[in-house]
C-alpha cells in the first residue's frame, strides 16, 4: 500500500507530464479497477485453491515494485493505460492472499485479526503519503523519485521474503453454492458505495487540492494522510468496538454518521475543515473486514 499511496501523491504530476485530461485518466483508473476485480476473483477461485497464500504473498511482494516503477514512469497515455492491467493484477493477487492468510489465522487463534491487518494497510497509506511528499520536495526529476521509492519497497520485500513462514494447505472448495441472504446483499451494496467513496478520495483528492484549492504539490496527499490517520485509530481499536457495539452498529450506523459529517465539512470550502472532515470519515472503518 505504501507504493500505491506514493502514486496518489504523484497523480497531479503524471497528468501534467503526459498532458491528459481528467476523463482520460479516469479510463486508467477504470483499467486498474477492472484488473483488480478480475484478479481478486481469479485468486479466490483458482490460485488460492492451488497455492498457499504465503507463497502468493511473497510472489506479489517481489513483483509489485518492479511492475509499479515501469507503469508509473511510462511516458505515454497508451502505456499508462495498458500497463494499468498488470499492476492491478499483481495488486489484486497480493491483496486476496493477505486477506486469506489473515482469515486463516483468525480461525486458528480465535481472535479478530482483520481490523489489525487493515490498520497495517492504513499505515502503509500513511507512510506512502509522507514518503511521496518528501520525494517530491527533494528530487528534481520525478522519475528518479518513483524509482527510489520502488527500490526501497523492493528491498523491504526481499527482507520479508527471507522470513520463515508456515505454508497452509489450500482449503477445499465446497461444490454446493449457498444462496445469498438479503442482509448480505444490502451490506455488500453499502460496502461498494463506501469503497467507491474511498476510491474517489484516494484517486482524485491530490489533484483537487493542488489544482482547485492551490495546495503545494508536495502536500497533495494531506487528505489521504488525514483519512488514513482516522482509519488507523479505528482499526487499532476495531476488535474492541466490534465486541462492544456489534458488527451492524459499527458497520452501518457509524459509517452513515461519518458520511453526514464529511458532507457538512466539504461545504465549508476551507482546507483545514475539509481535512478534519476526512479524518472523521476515516474513523468508522473497522467493519470492512466483513466484506473482504
CA angle, 20 then 220 then 92, to 5°: 70
Tally of structural domains, the chain: 1
Count of alpha carbons within 13 Å of 58, Cβ hemisphere only? 14
Q: Grid coordinates standing for 226?
A: 488525514
Helix/strand/coil for 100: helix
Domain assignment of residue 157, yes or no: yes
pLDDT at 291: 45
User: Would you call 111 exposed, middle or buried from its count of C-beta atoms within 10 A (0-12, 13-18, 19+)?
Assistant: exposed
pLDDT for the residue numbered 205: 67
User: What local confidence, expressed as pLDDT, does residue 100 receive?
Assistant: 81
Of 45, 149, 160, 168, the closest CA to residue 104 belongs to 168
Task: Please check whether residue 77 lies inside any domain of the structure.
Answer: yes
The mean pLDDT of 244-248, rounded to a whole number, is 68
What does the block give as the cell for 233?
485509530
- The verdict on residue 176 lying in a domain is no
Is residue 152 one of the residues assigned to a domain?
Answer: yes
In a domain, 36, yes or no: yes
Q: 270: domain range?
A: 2-170+181-291
Q: What angle do CA 207, 212, 216 make, to 5 degrees?
A: 65
Q: What is the mean pLDDT of residues 259-269?
A: 77
Are 232 and 19 in contact by the 8 Å Cβ rule? The answer is: no
Asked whether 226 and 274 are in contact (CB, 8 A), the reply is no
Confidence (pLDDT) at 167? 54
Chain segment 178-205, per-residue pLDDT in tens: 566 666 666 666 666 666 666 666 666 6
The grid coordinates of residue 271 equal 482546507
Helices (H), 139-169: 142-161
Residue 175 lies in a domain: no
User: Tell me, what's the pLDDT at 292?
Assistant: 45
Domain-embedded: residue 286: yes
Task: Quote the CA–CA distance of 6 and 133 in Å, as a whole number.
Answer: 8
Residue 229 within any structural domain of the chain: yes
The shares of helix, strand and coil residues in the chain, as percent rounded to the nearest 5, are 80, 0, 20
Q: Specify the CATH number for the domain of residue 72.
A: 1.20.1250.20
Tell me, what's the pLDDT at 176?
Answer: 53
Amino acid at each position: 500500500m505504501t507504493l500505491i499511496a506514493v502514486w496518489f501523491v504523484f497523480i497531479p504530476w503524471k497528468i501534467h507530464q503526459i498532458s491528459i485530461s481528467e476523463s482520460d485518466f479516469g479510463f486508467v483508473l477504470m483499467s486498474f479497477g477492472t484488473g483488480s476485480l478480475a484478479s481478486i476473483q481469479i485468486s479466490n477461485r483458482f490460485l488460492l485453491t492451488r497455492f498457499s497464500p504465503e507463497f502468493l504473498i511473497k510472489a506479489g511482494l517481489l513483483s509489485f515494485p518492479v511492475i509499479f516503477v515501469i507503469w508509473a514512469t511510462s511516458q505515454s497515455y497508451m502505456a499508462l493505460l495498458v500497463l494499468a492491467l498488470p499492476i492491478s493484477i499483481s495488486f489484486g493477487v497480493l491483496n486476496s492472499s493477505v486477506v486469506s492468510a489473515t482469515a486463516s489465522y483468525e480461525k486458528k487463534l480465535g481472535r479478530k485479526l482483520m481490523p489489525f491487518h487493515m490498520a497495517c494497510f492504513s499505515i502503509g497509506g500513511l507512510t506512502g503519503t509522507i514518503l511521496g511528499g518528501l520525494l517530491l520536495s527533494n528530487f528534481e526529476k520525478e522519475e528518479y523519485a518513483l524509482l527510489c521509492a520502488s527500490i526501497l519497497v523492493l528491498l523491504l520485500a526481499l527482507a520479508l521474503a527471507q522470513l520463515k513462514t508456515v505454508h497452509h494447505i489450500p482449503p477445499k472448495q465446497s461444490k454446493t453454492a449457498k444462496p445469498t441472504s438479503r442482509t448480505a446483499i444490502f451490506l455488500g451494496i453499502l460496502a461498494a458505495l463506501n469503497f467507491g467513496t474511498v476510491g474517489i478520495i484516494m484517486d482524485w483528492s491530490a489533484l483537487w487540492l493542488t489544482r482547485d484549492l492551490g495546495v503545494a504539490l508536495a502536500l497533495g496527499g494531506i487528505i489521504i494522510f488525514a483519512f488514513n490517520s482516522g482509519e488507523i485509530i479505528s482499526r487499532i481499536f476495531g476488535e474492541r468496538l466490534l465486541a462492544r457495539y456489534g458488527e451492524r452498529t459499527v458497520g452501518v450506523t457509524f459509517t452513515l454518521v461519518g458520511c453526514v459529517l464529511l458532507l457538512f465539512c466539504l461545504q465549508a470550502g476551507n482546507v483545514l475543515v475539509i481535512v478534519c472532515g476526512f479524518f472523521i470519515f476515516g474513523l468508522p472503518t473497522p467493519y470492512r473486514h466483513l466484506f473482504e
